[in-house]
């Protein structure tokens, strides 16, 4: 791969995780009244902010109160309590056009211990990048080797219906990211809840995610052996490790309000048992490393078989500069549900406009009851 790909990936990450900074003279990068200090880009494992699943992608992440099944382990673990059998989901995300960044998500849920137990794997890869050195900044002349940056979160969770209207869920996560021979690792927890008000199909959802401590990078690449002497002819080799700063992961809070507008007995517009389903959802998310974001999503279903979805995410920062503010964060997609031997196979697709980072495409496949 070309060295330019590495710089493209770094540029993508910078645009994704933080607003641009402005150089203010030889003193360095200083805030201005128009560019106030913030905490964007100050946490590790920022891939945890990238939503998973084509349904969530098409609705701009506004699915916290309506999410159900294995994808709920990412958005709101309480939604996994809706699983009535062994459910599986897998998805692939192509991030930001042709930059080569890819994300894969897989999860499973099974009724157990009076509730639902689940496991999920969320991993992001930069793809192969050419390894360089100070002596060979454009790569090794004799072919060299490649490396990739990988971020992974492995989670185990439990969800349960407390009443016919209230569900709760929690999970523990092991998170790691880095390259070969050097990585940073964390342990974190999520907790979430969904509450069906029984009024006009209104459902409330809330989740606190990525609650964990600090960690620093470690590994062979930042370890060295040095020779020491006590002033005599006696010498010995000692292993030292370069100092790396402690890094936190981004704690995030999600709050959502959804409504079944059409298609159920509690729907605002009625229509229980009809061919048409319509729901809408509004979400608010806030984290330790970005400004408050808002999402609005709408989903239409016909005979619980074909689905059309759309949404818009409002980032509340200036990352959309250079693109149209009206279309940045705009998303859409479709889904297809096919009954198969007492179960259902769901295929979903979504497309989201990411401005200068081109686009995000997500493909999901789910097997459920």
Q: Residue 98: its pLDDT value, please? A: 73
CA gap 296, 363 in Å, rounded: 21
Per-residue model confidence as pLDDT tens digits over 161-180: 999 999 999 999 999 999 88
> Which residues lie across from 214 on neighbouring strands?
248
Q: CA nearest 365: which of 352, 349, 351, 347?
A: 347
| pLDDT (average), residues 290-317 | 92
Q: Residue 23: its pLDDT value, please? A: 35
Q: Residue 322: its pLDDT value, please? A: 54
**What confidence category does residue 141 fall into, taking pLDDT thresholds of 50, 70 and 90?**
low
Q: At 80, list the tokens.
A: 């996994």
In a 13 Å sphere around the CA of 291, the CA atoms on its Cβ side amount to: 14
Question: 6: helix, coil or strand?
Answer: helix
CA gap 210, 47 in Å, rounded: 12
| pLDDT (average), residues 196-202 | 88
Q: Residue 187: its pLDDT value, please? A: 96
**What confidence category does residue 232 fall into, taking pLDDT thresholds of 50, 70 and 90?**
low
Q: Of the given ranges (93-97, 144-148, 200-204), which has the lowest mean pLDDT?
A: 144-148
What's the first-to-final CA gap in the chain, in angstroms?
43
Q: Which residue has the higher pLDDT, 77 or 40?
A: 77
Q: Which residue has the higher pLDDT, 143 or 319?
A: 319
Is 80 exceeded by the pLDDT of residue 215? Answer: yes
Q: Residue 279: its pLDDT value, please? A: 93
Is 50 exceeded by the pLDDT of residue 2? Answer: no
Q: Of the given ranges (65-74, 159-168, 235-244), which has the lowest mean pLDDT?
A: 235-244
Question: 248: helix, coil or strand?
Answer: strand
pTM of the predicted structure, to 2 decimals: 0.82
Q: At 172, list the tokens.
A: 């523990």
Q: Residue 26: its pLDDT value, please? A: 37
CA gap 220, 359 in Å, rounded: 36
| Region label for 25, one of left (φ > 0), alpha (ψ between -120 and 50) or beta (otherwise) | left
| pLDDT (average), residues 96-115 | 90
Highest mean pLDDT among 145-149, 225-229, 234-238: 145-149
Among residues of the chain, what percentage have pLDDT more than 90? 51
Q: Are 196 and 81 in contact (CB under 8 A)?
A: no
Buried b (16+ CB within 10 A) or exposed e, 7-37: ebbeebbebbbbbeeeeeeeeeeeeeeeeee
Following CA atoms 138, 16, 354, 307 in sequence, which dihedral angle do they give, to the nearest 10 degrees? Answer: 120
> Domains in the chain, start-ordered, CATH in brackets?
3-16+43-134+147-214+249-368 (2.40.160.60)
Among residues of the chain, what percentage have pLDDT more than 70? 80
| pLDDT (average), residues 55-83 | 95
Q: Which residue has the higher pLDDT, 27 or 137?
A: 137
Q: Which residue has the higher pLDDT, 257 or 218?
A: 257
| pLDDT (average), residues 208-228 | 83
Q: Of the given ranges (57-71, 126-140, 168-182, 207-221), which has the lowest mean pLDDT?
A: 126-140
Q: Of the given ranges (20-29, 54-63, 349-358), which has the lowest mean pLDDT?
A: 20-29
> Which residues lie across from 365 on neighbouring strands?
90, 347
Q: Residue 101: its pLDDT value, please? A: 85
Is 60 exceeded by the pLDDT of residue 1? Answer: no
Highest mean pLDDT among 13-22, 45-54, 135-144: 45-54
Q: Residue 27: its pLDDT value, please? A: 38
Per-residue model confidence as pLDDT tens digits over 317-367: 666 555 566 788 899 999 999 998 888 999 999 999 887 777 889 999 999
Average pLDDT for the chain:
83
| Region label for 310, one of left (φ > 0), alpha (ψ between -120 and 50) or beta (otherwise) | beta
Q: Residue 14: its pLDDT value, please? A: 39
> Which residues lie across from 194 on neighbouring strands?
167, 205
Q: Are 146 and 130 in contact (CB under 8 A)?
A: yes
Give the pairing type, strands 290-302 and 223-229.
Answer: unpaired
Is 90 exceeded by the pLDDT of residue 132? Answer: no
């Amino acid at each position: 791969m070309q060295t330019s790909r590495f710089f493209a990936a770094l540029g993508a990450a910078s645009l994704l995780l933080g607003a641009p900074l402005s150089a203010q003279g030889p003193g360095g990068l200083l805030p201005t009244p128009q560019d106030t200090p913030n905490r964007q880009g100050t946490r590790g494992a920022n891939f945890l902010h990238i939503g998973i699943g084509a349904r969530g992608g098409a609705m701009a992440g506004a699915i916290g109160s309506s999410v159900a099944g294995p994808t709920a382990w990412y958005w709101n673990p309480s939604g996994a309590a809706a699983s009535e059998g062994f459910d599986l989901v897998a998805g692939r995300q192509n991030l930001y056009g042709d930059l080569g960044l890819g994300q894969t998500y897989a999860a499973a849920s099974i009724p157990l211990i009076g509730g639902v137990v689940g496991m999920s794997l969320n991993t992001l890869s930069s793809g192969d990048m050419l390894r360089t050195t100070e002596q060979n900044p454009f790569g090794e002349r004799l072919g060299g080797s490649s490396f990739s940056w990988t971020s992974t979160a492995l989670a185990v969770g439990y969800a349960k219906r407390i009443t016919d209207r209230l569900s709760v869920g929690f999970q523990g996560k092991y998170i790691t990211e880095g390259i070969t021979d050097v990585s940073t690792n964390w342990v974190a927890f999520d907790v979430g809840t969904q509450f069906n008000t029984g009024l006009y199909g209104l459902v409330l959802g809330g989740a606190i995610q990525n609650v964990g401590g600090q960690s620093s990078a470690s590994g062979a690449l930042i370890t060295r052996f040095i020779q020491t002497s006590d002033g005599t002819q006696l010498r010995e080799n000692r292993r030292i490790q370069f100092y790396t700063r402690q890094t936190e992961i981004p704690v995030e809070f999600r709050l959502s309000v959804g409504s079944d507008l059409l298609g159920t007995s509690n729907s605002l517009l009625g229509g229980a048992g009809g061919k048409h389903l319509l729901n809408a959802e509004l979400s608010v998310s806030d984290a330790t490393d970005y400004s408050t974001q808002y999402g609005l999503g709408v989903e239409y279903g016909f005979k619980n078989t074909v689905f059309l979805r759309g949404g818009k995410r409002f980032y509340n920062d200036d990352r959309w500069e250079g693109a149209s503010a009206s279309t940045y964060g705009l998303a859409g997609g479709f889904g297809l549900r096919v009954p198969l031997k007492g179960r259902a196979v769901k295929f979903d697709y979504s497309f989201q406009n990411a401005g200068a980072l081109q686009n995000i495409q997500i493909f999901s496949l789910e097997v459920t009851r």
